[in-house]
Chains A and B, each alone.
Chain A
Amino acid sequence: MVPITHFLALSGALFLIGMCGVLLRRNVLIVLMSIELMLNGANIALVAFSRLHGNLDGQVLAMFVIAVAAAEAAVGLAIVVSLFRARTSADIDDLGLLRD
């Protein structure tokens, strides 16, 4: 049986990669994708622990996360599209509108 450590390592790696993407990339689309990565990293951890404990709660939560992620992706992409139309750019550093 694959020990839980491996799952957690994968999950942590995915989460960190996602986080780096969110923090370092400028393109809004990439940022959105990185967020998906982070969510999936969390999902893996949830499912792994669910299996470990023989308890379905974690899997239920993972399903929720997937559903929310789908909705978030739809809304997020819509925002990106309208932002792009408005600003002709998808660079996250250009979005300081509220500050100025």
Chain B
Amino acid sequence: MPEPSFDLLYIPLFPLIGAVLNLLFGRWAMRTLGDRLGRELVHLIAIAAVAFSCFFTISAVFEVMIGQGHDRLVDKVYPWIVSGETQVGFELLLDHLSAVMCLVVTGVGLLIHIFSVGYMAKDPDYHRYFAYLNLFMAAMLILVLGKSLVLTFVGWEGVGVCSYLLIGFWFTDDAKATAGRKAFIMNRIGDFGFILGMLVIYSVVQSLDVDAIRSMSATETGSPFAKAFFHVGDTNVTVATVATICLFIGCCGKSAQIPLYTWLPDAMAGPTPVSALIHAATMVTAGVYLCVRLNFLFALAPLTMAIIAVVGAITALFAATIGITQNDIKKVLAYSTVSQLGYMFLAVGMGAWVSAIFHLVTHAFFKACLFLGSGAVIEACHHDQDIRTMGGLKEKMPVTRWTFLISCLAIAGIFPFAGFFSKDEILLHGYINESVWSPGLNYFVYVAGALAAFCTAFYMFRLYFLTFEGKFRGDHHTWTHYVKEHWIMSMPLAVLAVLATFGGLLGWPHAFPGAAHMVQLDVGGGRTIPHLEGLPHVLEQWLEPITSTSARFSGEFFVGPQAKFLHDGHVSSTVEFGMIAISLSIAIAGIYFAYTLYKDGPSEAASQWASKLGAAYRASKAKYYVDEIYDVLFVRPVRALGSVLYHAGDQGLIDGVGVGGVAGTVGLTGEVVRRWHNGNVRRYLVILTLGVVVVLGSIYLNPRVAQMGPSSVSERFDPGGLRPTLGEQNVKVKLFGVFEVPWFSGGEDGDGSAADGPPGVPGQAGAQDGGAL
């Protein structure tokens, strides 16, 4: 199919323009137009920019891709890096995968921009906030649309920068600025892996274009990725494994997986809509997106896949257990995000690409809704984030409460909310996508995922009950002077809640009644055509072109459900229904447990459980001391090293010897030379005269000039015999003889010139004599 050219550039360009406008003119607008009008202008620009790119994406996807049946839209903007053989184009690609991501990013982004108008209404740096938010949208869209990994990396770094800027948005608070730095540094560790991965891929493909990588991978066992080896000790590791492990390190940083997840909970220092957009819905899912984007490459590396699955499963469970004991409303959601990202990587590791993207989409809906809901709660409680001092807020903020409840049900995995479908699909595939390379891994992954699902249901409803049910536990003033819900904050919540409710329909399970199946449609004349009837698994069909390459792999590279679980080309209904029953009962158990403990605020039973669990409870509450361990293992040594390098290297070598040395040398020279420059004009003149005498003397008394003889000089100057006359007079000689220079003692030259020279020569010889005296 020909790839139609389409101006995809506008999708990231609009937010970029918005960001530039607000950065340049935002402060000016807020000053000159008055506070109210200025703010209106600022957020109108920002929202319009995102709305434009949202509508542009929608029209590109629905009108051009679906309406006109194009699988891919490519925009070759310009050849970006051209260096010899290497050519990296600034090319944007909208295929089925990036279309899903673009829709999520622009759609959720638009809602969060609208929500921010309410949340940030009083902030003095309003324009800066919206500019950063727009900048983030631009970077994220470049990340998603980049056809080459280099361009994706540009977006990858761009979102990292915006994340840093927005976490440290209130940078006057030292803790928040530190959180921003922490996020940035941990991301840098991951980015290092990303760069290495790109270099490894480049060494094989000689290009970083996704299509080139795909065509290189497509041959499976014949692929250079699987055939070329790195030698690690005695074992040989395929290039694919090394490259994907490096890339996965990048994903760990960006998507907050163990061991690089600790920045994400700290990132909650930023404004809450930022947490919703960047640290829940979009940026942190970039790692999942990258893995699915390169699924053919990851499928060639079963070792990496196993590592990803294990890391994802452990992260899902680990973060979920921390989430149980946290008391900061945003911290709970942050650990929940880490945990859900773990699910996505679990799916990626088990080769369930579609499930990963499915969960990414539904998670974007309900987690954005949860974060925005928590933002509304925090706003209402005068920026108090401790759920121990909340409670009973349902009568004050009904919209927030209902949307929050829907999202809680969705994330807990209750039918028919979105999370049910996606999480169930991940657990299902975690179980049935058993790889021949890592037998038995699926059991571990499944158990960890199921346990994490229990924890998820529990902590989400603990959060819900403590916040909205029971009695208010804060001070009286907050309760009576709470900030009322405003439509501009409720509207995005409602839209996201609707999406969180129906988003699951994107992936209707095959076992369910009404699921799509092929029927032979009679078109008359005895001919039949196959026809799809019923509710399809929309996302699976939609992403088919993306996953088709890796779906063809076989043997150790096979990804997908094992044959023993399949029935008639689909997962057998018994397995699927069994899984659904298990995960539903787990979720309900978790919710019930939370209900018994927290339905009217923290109960006696809850503290009894806490003391019963003792050490485990304390460890979870202290986040397993991971930050402290990292502090001892990495932060302190690095700081110590930095301190040494600062004192010895920077201050000693660079400042001392380098900069200070140059300055000192110049200063010393100046100290010596300035004594000459004493302002005494006559002394200047003496020196000037001496200089002239030396210059003239070194010319006229130089044996070589003398050797040239008068004839050669007269050729160049006046032919009228000036030199002979002077030579005869011998005037100059005695005068200049005083300033004789050492090299002028050679008698042979003088003799030579005497032999050659015309009448002036005796004079020259006389000059030598005078000099000798």
Chain A contact residues, CB within 8 Å of chain B: 4-5, 8-9, 12, 19, 22-24, 26, 49, 52-53, 55, 92-93, 95-96, 98-100
Check A5/B731 contact, CB under 8 A, given A96-B680, A99-B678. yes
Q: Mask for B656-699, Cβ within 8 A of A = 1, else 0?
A: 00000000000000000000011111100110010000000000
Q: Which of A4, A9, A53, A95 contacts B718 (CB 8 A)?
A: A53
Chain A contacts for B678, CB-based, 8 A: 96, 99
The answer to whether B735 has its CB under 8 Å from any CB of chain A is yes
User: In the bound complex, do residue B686 and residue A23 qualify as a contact, i.e. CB atoms below 8 Å apart?
Assistant: yes
Q: Give the residues from 689 to 746 in chain B that come closer than 8 angstroms, CB to CB, to chain A.
A: 689, 718, 720-722, 725, 729, 731, 735
Give the secondary structure class of A's interface.
helix
User: In the bound complex, do residue B682 and residue A92 qualify as a contact, i.e. CB atoms below 8 Å apart?
Assistant: yes
Q: Quick one: closest A residue to B729, CB to CB? A: A5
Q: Give the residues from 616 to 647 in chain B that come closer than 8 angstroms, CB to CB, to chain A.
A: none
CA distance A98 to B679 in the complex (A): 8
Check A96/B686 contact, CB under 8 A, given A12-B731, A53-B718, A53-B720. no
CA distance A98 to B678 in the complex (A): 10
Beyond A4-B725, A53-B721, A95-B681, 18 additional contacts (C-beta under 8 Å) are A5-B729, A8-B731, A19-B689, A22-B682, A23-B686, A23-B689, A24-B682, A26-B682, A52-B725, A53-B720, A53-B722, A92-B681, A93-B680, A93-B681, A95-B679, A98-B679, A99-B677, A99-B679
User: In the bound complex, do residue A22 and residue B685 qualify as a contact, i.e. CB atoms below 8 Å apart?
Assistant: yes
Give the secondary structure class of B's interface.
helix
Q: Which of B679, B680, B721 contacts A100 (CB 8 A)?
A: B679
Chain B contacts for A53, CB-based, 8 A: 718, 720-722
Tell me, rounded to whole Å, the shortest Cβ–Cβ distance linking B519 to chain A: 102
Chain A contacts for B677, CB-based, 8 A: 99
Chain B contacts for A8, CB-based, 8 A: 729, 731
CA distance A55 to B718 in the complex (A): 11
Chain B contacts for A5, CB-based, 8 A: 729, 731
Check A9/B731 contact, CB under 8 A, given A53-B718, A53-B722. yes
Chain B contacts for A4, CB-based, 8 A: 725, 729
CA distance A96 to B682 in the complex (A): 11
Chain B contact residues, CB within 8 Å of chain A: 677-682, 685-686, 689, 718, 720-722, 725, 729, 731, 735
Chain A contacts for B725, CB-based, 8 A: 4, 52
Q: Quick one: closest B residue to A12, CB to CB? A: B731
Chain B contacts for A12, CB-based, 8 A: 731, 735
Tell me, rounded to whole Å, the shortest Cβ–Cβ distance linking A41 to chain B: 13
Tell me, rounded to whole Å, the shortest Cβ–Cβ distance linking B710 to chain A: 15
CA distance A19 to B689 in the complex (A): 9
Chain B contacts for A19, CB-based, 8 A: 689
CA distance A26 to B725 in the complex (A): 38
Q: Quick one: closest B residue to A28, CB to CB? A: B681
Tell me, rounded to whole Å, the shortest Cβ–Cβ distance linking A94 to chain B: 10
Q: List 30 A-B contacts (CB under 8 A).
A: A4-B725, A4-B729, A8-B731, A9-B731, A12-B731, A12-B735, A22-B682, A22-B685, A23-B682, A23-B685, A23-B686, A23-B689, A24-B682, A49-B722, A52-B725, A53-B718, A53-B720, A53-B721, A53-B722, A55-B720, A92-B681, A92-B682, A93-B680, A93-B682, A95-B679, A96-B678, A96-B679, A96-B680, A98-B679, A99-B677
Interface centre among B679, B720, B729, B735 (most CB of A within 10 A): B679
Closest 9 CB pairs of A and B: A96-B679, A99-B679, A53-B720, A5-B729, A8-B731, A23-B685, A92-B681, A23-B686, A23-B682
Chain A contacts for B729, CB-based, 8 A: 4-5, 8
CA distance A45 to B689 in the complex (A): 19
Chain B contacts for A22, CB-based, 8 A: 682, 685
Tell me, rounded to whole Å, the shortest Cβ–Cβ distance linking B97 to chain A: 73
CA distance A75 to B330 in the complex (A): 83
Chain B contacts for A26, CB-based, 8 A: 682
Tell me, rounded to whole Å, the shortest Cβ–Cβ distance linking A25 to chain B: 8
CA distance A93 to B685 in the complex (A): 13
CA distance A26 to B681 in the complex (A): 10
Chain A contacts for B735, CB-based, 8 A: 12
Chain B contacts for A96, CB-based, 8 A: 678-680
Chain A contacts for B680, CB-based, 8 A: 93, 96
Chain A contacts for B720, CB-based, 8 A: 53, 55
CA distance A66 to B436 in the complex (A): 108
Tell me, rounded to whole Å, the shortest Cβ–Cβ distance linking B671 to chain A: 15
Tell me, rounded to whole Å, the shortest Cβ–Cβ distance linking A39 to chain B: 15
Tell me, rounded to whole Å, the shortest Cβ–Cβ distance linking A93 to chain B: 6
Chain B contacts for A23, CB-based, 8 A: 682, 685-686, 689
CA distance A86 to B686 in the complex (A): 27
Tell me, rounded to whole Å, the shortest Cβ–Cβ distance linking A96 to chain B: 3
CA distance A9 to B726 in the complex (A): 12
Tell me, rounded to whole Å, the shortest Cβ–Cβ distance linking A1 to chain B: 13
CA distance A100 to B674 in the complex (A): 12
Chain B contacts for A24, CB-based, 8 A: 682
